[in-house]
Each structure stands twice: as C-alpha cells, then as structure tokens.
Amino acid sequence: MSTPTDLERFIGYAQAFELAQAGEAWPVLEPHFCEDAVHLVHNGGSLGGDDHGRAAVVDGLKQSVHDHDRRFDVRIPEILEGPVSRPDGVWMRYALTLRRAGVPELRFEGEHLTEYEDGRICRIEEWLPADTPQRVETLLAEHDARLHPPGSPPRTPNARDRRDLEAATAGSLIRAYGSAKSQQDVGAALAFCSPDFALETPAFGTRAVGRDAVAAQLAVFFRAFPDYRVKLEGFAQGDAAVTWGRAKLSLRGALLGLEPTHKTAELPVYCLFDVREGMLRSERFVFDRASFCEQLELPAPALAEALATLARGDSPD
C-alpha cells in the first residue's frame, strides 16, 4: 500500500472536519495535527485568530463553528478551486454560506493553505477579504435576536437549503476529484469515491468497477499521459451532476503497448457523475476518440486493438 500524499491527507482532514462539526466529535481532528500546530486567519476578526498548539487549534475551530455556523439554520461549504498540492502546502479556494430564515444570507470566500510535516498538519493559514470581518460582525449585531444562540445543535435543513447543500457538495466533490486527477494523484482522487465507484470511458469502450480496478486503469492512463490536465468550464446539477471543459494531454509514455508519439491533444470533454450520500458513485468520461487519435498521431486500428485487451480485463501494462 502506497504512502498517502499530502493532498490525500488533506482530503482525509477535510472529511474529518465535516464529521467533527456535524456530530460535535472534535477529538477526531487531533490525530491530523502536530503537537505544535498553528492556525492563522488573516483578516479573520471574530472568525478566527492565531492559535498555537494542537489543542488550541482544535478548540479554535470548534469555537468558530459554535459562534458563527451554529447561529444559522444551515451551513453550506463549497470548494471553488483545488485542492492543489504546491511546494508550500495544499491550497484551495473555498466559500461558506450561512442561512437563517428571516435574516440576510451571509456568504464569504477565502483561501486556505495547509502545510504538512512528517504526515501531520503543522500550519494552516487562511486569507479572507478585508471587508469580511466587518460584514460578519455587522450582520451578527443587527440580527442577534433572530439568530440561534451560540453553540446551538445542528439543524435539519429545509427542502430549499437541502437542495442547495447537495448541489454545493456535488460541485465540491467533482471539482476536487478533477483537481486530484489533474495532478495524477490517484489516491487523492479516489478518496472522494465510494468503494464500488465505477469509471466508464465510452471512447475507449472500458468500464472499471471498484477502487482497485479504477486505480489500475488510471495508473495506465497517467503513465502514458503524465501531464494530463482538465480545465472545467461549467457545472449543472439535475437528476445527475454534469460538468464540462477541456482536457490537455501529451502521449509521453507507452499506452497499452503503443509507443509514445510525444504529441499533444486538446479535447472538449464532459463528465456525468452519480453523487449520493456525499460521495461520487460513478463517472462517465466522454470525449471524441477520432480527434484523440488524430491529434496524438495514433493509428486508430492499433489503438482499437490495444483497448480491446484492456476491455477484456487483461492485466494493463
């Protein structure tokens, strides 16, 4: 079993945080932090400050949720960009929307950087727009009587809030999963997926079911296309979640026995996802195979024969 990357570790932390705040199970966060961890929020105001030490960091996260999120009917977190593994840590851009009936909606965005040392979080820094503290404090003061008391228990969202929360969750999962794939981090990508996750690629005639099978197919793909990237351009949520954008990839390694051409392709793609219970259950990844072959200068018959080997379930090379 491979050692988790910092990106995969961060995903585990983010999932643990949601469990902690939903169930008041804050001790589950402690193993994610170094003993001397730091959490610093720039322009945080009442949203956070400068906490030093594992216990203080976890307590500060808990206090912020109690003082702000719990005063509203629903919290809707969303990943807008990333997470991305960088030399200085794992970065993402996020939004948080807080709603309470009869009170103006509170929404703000921020940047989040998590630094690791020996597999644990040693530092989290967040950056909020300069006007965020004043907006938050003004709303809390003006509507204090209508808000729930600090530290109130989580509430079951109404139909509208549940719909918007589910849409935000689906969008966050898909963007983060796509970001992990664009970094060729298979473990991080599959951390968003159910154990029976299915990946279907109609252009290749393949369908892998289960994390191990999907990981094997992705490993073959990323060895051949180590610079694979997708830039998402749109997202829609209906009976299923759909996203679209452009993929860019260069054939720099052998693909199922076909020699690398070192050519680059840029292709429009769209992906259809099944999202249930906060996890990705399946992805249908669609692009044009003829354009793929033409741009990469791959002989279409040879690719068809190689893909037939993979579709039969033979061990990928």
The mean of the pLDDT values for the chain is 93
Position 130 scores a pLDDT of 92
The CATH code of domain 184-311 reads: 3.10.450.50
In the chain, domain spans: 6-156, 184-311
- Is the pLDDT at 45 greater than 90? The verdict is no
pLDDT tens digits, one per residue of 138-151: 999 999 999 999 99
pLDDT tens digits, one per residue of 72-87: 999 999 999 999 999 9
CA atoms within 13 A on the CB side of 223: 14
Helices 289-296 and 300-311 cross at an angle (nearest 10°) of: 120
The CATH code of domain 6-156 reads: 3.10.450.50
Position 268 scores a pLDDT of 97
The pTM of the full predicted model, rounded to 2 decimals, is: 0.92
Rounded-to-integer distance, Cα 238 and Cα 275, Å:
11
Domains 6-156 and 184-311 share a fold: yes
Position 59 scores a pLDDT of 95
| 190 conformational bin, left if phi > 0, alpha if psi -120 to 50, beta if neither | alpha
- Is the pLDDT at 316 greater than 60? The verdict is no
Task: Quote the distance between the C-alpha of residue 117 and its chain's center.
Answer: 22
pLDDT tens digits, one per residue of 150-180: 999 999 999 999 999 999 999 999 999 999 9
What's the angle, vertex CA 225, arms to CA 220 and CA 228, rounded to 5?
A: 120
Burial status of residue 204 (CB atoms within 10 A of its CB: 0-12, 13-18, 19 or more): buried
Position 312 scores a pLDDT of 61
